[in-house]
Amino acid sequence: MKIIFIKNAVETLGYFSEQLAAAFQELGYDTYFVDYDDLVNTVDGISRFVKAGETWLCTFNFIGLSGEEIFIEENGRYIWENHGIACINILVDHPLYYHSKLAGPPVSDMRIFCIDRDHVIYMKRFYPALQVDFLPLAGNCIKKQNGKKWELKNIPYQNRKYDIVFTGNYTSVEHLYREIDRQGVEYRTFYYEIMEDMKVHPAVSVDQMLETHIRRDLGEVPEEELRAAFAGMVFIDICMRSYFRGEIIKCLAEHKIPVHVFGANWEKLDCENQDYIIKNGREVDSVTCAEAIADAKISLNIMPWFKDGAHDRVFTAMLQHTLSLTDDSRYLKENFTDKKDLVYYSLEKREELPELVNELLQKPDACMEIAERGYGKAVREHTWRQRANEIIFHIIY
């Protein structure tokens, strides 16, 4: 089997692709990259690499399948179809972001992977004709050379620069609210009611909450209309991600717990104790994020509304021998034990988070033990090599 990847379209997804490609190479598969920094030449090289019927495109979030002219040939079909290349499409966001492409698939031979089991259920309900499976994200590794060997980087726990880090950008909630306020009164009221309900019940998935409110106001709604309505309310998901991301960081800062944030726009967070939000002041790439986590005692994760999946920050922290502090999900609770492999905090009871963080920082030996157990589990079960094997299992068997 031969596998084509795409890089330099979206930095994070290109990085995932590079990690996954390296894993497939270790397993003995040939790989090739279409590079957005050299599109003409690398697209031209596809025909020389491909072996019809034995080649797959492995992409994320419909990159290469979104109507890009460079990938569409003279007969109006995608280059993938013309060369007999089947498509693996990994969605790292909720499927409601991709309604139009899922309702009218761009190619006939496409297998979808979702990183949250709720997303798989959603897909099977609203897009039953598509093949879909669950594939969790994996941890990103930082390697260093030791002689002729490459090994995972592991800074001694007591020598680490940061007590607690968070890697990710901030989007101003006020900016998002202004967009909602431009709607009519009825729509504004409807949207704000949903968001207030989500703040009170953060364990409920976004589509479940949307459906509850739509059916309460409109009664029975046909499935096709319902999925289209969900797609028209993606901004609610964005709002809730941003709201809780800001609230958690603010909660720590206002209790005078310094948090090193690696990402852009944190100066826009409305917080009285901005001095405790220690910023790098710019958007950072995936390698920089992983390196920051590797130099931290605690890596904070705030889930982007994955209620039955996990973010790569959790596994990346574990692979750096760093304690992962995260809100929970059903998937995480099935696979990791609180205060054994990682530490959970509650979005509902986030006022308890500062005390929990202070307690952890006062017990470095206990934190180091949790981090080491997390590392052992992640290196066995949550690397990109494991994900490559899972993909192979799904597409072959």
**What residue ranges do the domains of the chain occupy?**
2-137+386-396, 143-172+239-381
Q: Quick one: DSSP state of residue 116?
A: B
Nearest to 326 by CA among 197, 139, 176, 152: 139
Whether 2-137+386-396 and 143-172+239-381 share one fold: the answer is yes
Which residues 6+ apart lie within 8 Å of 16 measured at CB? Answer: 60, 92, 137, 140, 286, 312, 384
**Structure-token pair, residue 316:** 């990346």
Q: What is the pLDDT of residues 105-141, one digit of tens each?
A: 999 999 999 999 999 999 999 999 999 999 999 999 8
Between the two ends of the chain, the Cα-to-Cα distance in Å is 14
Which residues 6+ apart lie within 8 Å of 372 measured at CB? Answer: 321
Tell me the one-letter amino acid at 160.
R
Q: Is 388 exposed, middle or buried (0-12, 13-18, 19+ CB in 10 A)?
A: buried
pLDDT tens, per residue, the chain with 397 residues:
999 999 999 999 999 999 999 999 999 999 999 999 999 999 999 999 999 889 999 999 999 999 999 999 999 999 999 999 999 999 999 999 999 999 999 999 999 999 999 999 999 999 999 999 999 999 998 876 565 555 677 899 999 999 999 999 999 988 888 888 888 888 899 999 999 999 999 999 999 999 999 999 999 999 999 999 999 999 999 999 999 999 999 999 999 999 999 999 999 999 999 999 999 878 899 999 999 999 999 999 999 999 999 999 999 999 999 999 999 999 999 999 999 999 999 999 999 999 999 999 999 999 999 999 999 999 999 999 999 999 999 987 6
Integer Cα distance of 161 and 311 in angstroms: 24
Integer Cα distance of 4 and 203 in angstroms: 37
Nearest to 3 by CA among 54, 63, 71: 54
Q: What is the pLDDT of residues 257-289, one digit of tens each?
A: 999 999 999 999 999 999 999 998 788 999 999
Tell me how crowded residue 2 is: count the other CB atoms within 10 A of its CB. 15
Distances (CA, A) of 311 to 34, 140, 143, 163, 165: 26, 11, 21, 21, 15
Q: Quick one: DSSP state of residue 138?
A: -
**Structure-token pair, residue 278:** 């220690």
Main-chain phi, psi angles of 35, to 5 degrees: -110, 120
Q: Quick one: DSSP state of residue 140?
A: P
Look at the block and give the residue holding tokens 């589509």: 207
Beta bridge partners of 58: 88
Helix (H, G, I), strand (E, B) or coil at 330: helix
Q: How many CA atoms lie within 13 A of 25 on its CB side?
A: 11
Rg of the Cα trace of the chain?
22
**CATH: 3.40.50.300, 3.40.50.2000, 3.20.20.80, 3.40.50.11890. Which one for 143-172+239-381?**
3.40.50.2000
Task: Write the CATH number of the domain with boundaries 2-137+386-396.
Answer: 3.40.50.2000
Which residues 6+ apart lie within 8 Å of 163 measured at CB? Answer: 258, 296, 297, 298, 361
